[in-house]
Amino acid sequence: MKRIIISGGGTGGHIYPAIAIATALKDQDPSLEFLFVGAEGKMEMEKVPKAGFNIQGLPIVGINRQNMAKNLMFPFKLIQSLRKAFQIIAEFKPDVAIGVGGYASGPMLIAAWVKGIPFFIQEQNSFAGITNKALSGKAKHIFVAYPGMEKFFGKDKITLSGNPVRKDLIDLAGKKDKASSFFGLDPNKKTILVIGGSQGARSINLAIQNGLAAIAEADVQLIWQTGVSFENEAKKASGATNGLKSYVSAFIYEMDLAYAIADLVVSRAGALSVSEICLAGKPSILVPFPNASEDHQTENAKSLVNNGAARLVLDKDAQADLVPTALKTLTDKTVLTELGLQSLAMGKPYAATEIAQAILNDMNPCA
């Protein structure tokens, strides 16, 4: 029985691709044993067990770029995490490690390298993260989601695989009627899907809230994922808007149905969201989170915009421009169709399977 450690996390953009890779590996070789390693107190400690995998946490914390004083404990947390990473390797005895980015992957991959355990990296963003860049020289191979990543990694180590995403988004055909019933919407009306990531996005939420009357006047309906903190306010505002047909929720688990009925998606530009939008072949208005590390969300958004697959609205302009841009895009059938086609062309539906197969081929070169 061969064993694989998968390390990383901190956000859904790291966790869900990691789970997708593990699931694809297990589908191809059910005898494999897995252990996830994440950051204590982060969402992976809940999400990974729900997906059926074991996980251990490291006390590692990320670097706070807004308040450097809060980084005083970072060296101590790093040392503690490295010690625990070496302990995990000694106990679990992995054959291979996979890092998916995020600060939790650093100590684990360093320990794997020191102990001579081969490791792979999966980079979700179009601007590589600090951890992945620092460790790329020691990696056996690096799977990337965007072209042009040789500016960060050795060209001979890169495979353009795309980002692994949930399987149910690969085929949305025939789901629109089910979606309209589930969300209580009209299948014949134009629909905007608003998603701001698992925590919501305040600038997007406020822009949508202020534009509810205009959305209703345009006879457009709304699926609005708000995040927990804005849910009550959003429900109150949408309920008070005459003529608006909407579905409002803090979090949407049935994303395949949401994409199936959506004519246009308004979203942050996190790696996972962008990959899902492309896989679903949906036109989108992207509003990058301006404080993301290395401004990687803006780079992700530009990758779509430069390929004619999306429109960009900066966070600072969202209040004035987001809803007008969305409504204008919806009314231009030619633009809407072209954006959707270009988006679909950028999708990589079999990323998880391809990554899993490459890793298994390396683990079993004679098979």
pLDDT of 197 higher than 60: no
266 and 284 in contact (C-beta within 8 Å)?
A: yes
Tell me the average pLDDT across 241-248: 96
Sort 283 into a burial class: Cβ within 10 Å, 0-12 / 13-18 / 19+. buried
> In whole angstroms, what is the distance from residue 71 CA to residue 144 CA?
30
pLDDT of 177 higher than 80: yes
Confidence of residue 172 (pLDDT cuts 50, 70, 90): confident
Q: What is the pLDDT of residue 66?
A: 61
Residue 18 labelled as part of a binding site: no
Q: What are phi and psi of 121, to 5 degrees?
A: -125, 140
Q: Are residues 43 and 67 in the same domain?
A: yes
Residue 303 labelled as part of a binding site: no
Q: Are residues 125 and 226 in the same domain?
A: no
Mean pLDDT score of the chain: 91
Residue 142 labelled as part of a binding site: no
Query: Domain of 248: which CATH number?
Result: 3.40.50.2000
Residue 272 labelled as part of a binding site: yes
First to last CA, the chain: 15
Residues 6+ apart with CB under 8 A from 173: none
pLDDT digits (tens, 9 = 90+) for 299-358: 999 999 999 999 999 999 999 999 999 999 999 999 999 999 999 999 988 999 999 999
> In whole angstroms, what is the distance from residue 268 CA to residue 102 CA?
18
pLDDT digits (tens, 9 = 90+) for 16-43: 889 999 999 999 999 999 999 998 988 8
Tell me how far the alpha carbon of residue 93 is from its chain's centroid: 29
Q: Are residues 186 and 335 in the same domain?
A: yes
Q: What is the pLDDT of residue 15?
A: 86
26 and 356 in contact (C-beta within 8 Å)?
A: no
pLDDT of 64 higher than 80: no
* DSSP E strand stretches across 103-245: 119-123, 141-144, 158-160, 191-195, 221-225
Tell me the average pLDDT across 103-124: 94
pLDDT of 226 higher than 60: yes
Q: Are residues 64 and 128 in the same domain?
A: yes
Closest to 12 in 3D by CA, of 192, 172, 195, 191: 195
pLDDT digits (tens, 9 = 90+) for 266-307: 999 988 889 999 999 999 999 999 987 778 899 999 999 999
Residue 198 labelled as part of a binding site: yes
Q: Are residues 89 and 173 in the same domain?
A: no
pLDDT of 95 higher than 80: yes
Q: Are residues 108 and 220 in the same domain?
A: no
pLDDT of 181 higher than 90: yes
Q: How many domains does the chain have?
A: 2
pLDDT of 52 higher than 60: yes
Name residue, tokens 């600038």. 203
Kind and range of the H or E run holding 16: helix 12-28
196 and 272 in contact (C-beta within 8 Å)?
A: no
Residue 154 labelled as part of a binding site: no
The region, left, alpha or beta by phi > 0 then psi within -120 to 50, assigned to residue 246 is: beta
Confidence of residue 367 (pLDDT cuts 50, 70, 90): low
Domain of 109? 3-163+349-363
Residue 13 labelled as part of a binding site: yes
Q: Are residues 178 and 141 in the same domain?
A: no
Q: What is the pLDDT of residue 343?
A: 96
Q: What is the pLDDT of residue 23?
A: 94
% of the chain at pLDDT higher than 70: 94
Residue 52 labelled as part of a binding site: no
Report pTM: 0.83
pLDDT digits (tens, 9 = 90+) for 137-160: 999 999 999 888 999 998 999 999
> In whole angstroms, what is the distance from residue 331 CA to residue 335 CA?
9
Q: What is the pLDDT of residue 160?
A: 94
Q: Are residues 333 and 356 in the same domain?
A: no
Identity of the residue numbered 242: N
Q: Are residues 123 and 270 in the same domain?
A: no
Q: Are residues 231 and 255 in the same domain?
A: yes
Residue 310 labelled as part of a binding site: no
Q: Are residues 173 and 88 in the same domain?
A: no
Residue 48 labelled as part of a binding site: no
Confidence of residue 233 (pLDDT cuts 50, 70, 90): very high
How open is the CA angle 125-207-191, to the nearest 5 degrees? 80
Residue 163 labelled as part of a binding site: no
Residue 11 labelled as part of a binding site: yes
Q: What is the pLDDT of residue 69?
A: 58
Q: Are residues 304 and 199 in the same domain?
A: yes
Identity of the residue numbered 319: Q
pLDDT of 112 higher than 80: yes
